Amino acid sequence: MSHPVLITGASQRLGLAIANDLLSRSVPVIITYRTPKPAVTQLEADGASTIQADFSTAQGIDRAIDAIQAATSGLRAIIHNASDWEPESEHRDYQSLIETMMQVHAIAPYRLNLALQSLLQGQGSTTDIIHMTDYVQLTGSQKHVAYSASKAALHNLTLSFAKMLAPDVKVNSIAPALLMFNDDDPQAYRDKARKKSLLETVPGAQEAVKAVNYLLSSDYMTGQTLHLDGGRHLK
């Protein structure tokens, strides 16, 4: 039995699709979730190990590290997917907002990678860390300033950990633009957002699944970014 793939924040959307794809191919999976929901129960029924974790505090990260170390003696990969997409417009306490964004998107991946690196090493074949960043890591964002800065920090962690953990561990970013709408996105937003890319499409979660599977199968990618943006960078 191969070691499990750890996916953070996998109770919905992209993380859930990645977990379900791996399980469908009998790849063992450990997921973290923040909020209990039916999808977590279903993942457990499908054989996933599930760990409740809130990465917004140091104590929450401590507890997650302890739980993951107790759950497995090795890891095939870590996919840092957990994320809060918070705009400044919905906050007045900007100190708290950027602290939370950095906590979830940079400090948690940083601390988990350092604490769990030994679970990824010495397996005779390369293992993987994948950071789910964002198209805005290079462009910035007027409406999600703290979020964007934290994703840029996460991408920089890709570069540092790729140097630190080679050759045992490959470390890459996946930087999506719009892959999936949120249920409450109004039609006007959807129509406008679709036109932001050259391909004028919103591909859905399977685009992230395919990117993850490419990186897991690669023998020569590390310190890189897979940009899933439909050509938006050329508009």
List residues near ligand NDP by CB under 6 A.
Answer: 9, 11-15, 33-35, 53-56, 81-85, 104, 132, 134, 176, 178-180
Give residue 101's identity as a one-letter amino acid code.
Answer: M
* Residue 206's binding partner out of ligand LV4SOB2L, ligand NDP, none, with CB under 5 to 8 Å set by partner kind: none
* Residue 33's binding partner out of ligand LV4SOB2L, ligand NDP, none, with CB under 5 to 8 Å set by partner kind: ligand NDP
Q: Single out the segment in contact with ligand LV4SOB2L by CB under 6 A; choices: 27-35, 47-55, 153-161, 177-185.
A: 177-185
As a whole number of angstroms, the distance between CA 217 and CA 187 comes to: 37
User: Which of these, 196, 186, 179, 205, lies nearest to 232 by C-alpha position?
Assistant: 196
Cβ neighbours of residue 90 under 8 Å, at least 6 residues apart? none
* Residue 148's binding partner out of ligand LV4SOB2L, ligand NDP, none, with CB under 5 to 8 Å set by partner kind: none
147 is catalytic: yes
Nearest distance, CB of residue 122 and ligand NDP, angstroms: 29
Does 134 participate in binding ligand LV4SOB2L (rule CB under 6 A)? yes
Q: Six-digit token pair at 220?
A: 């020569």
Residue 153 parent element (H or E): helix 145-165
Cβ neighbours of residue 164 under 8 Å, at least 6 residues apart? none
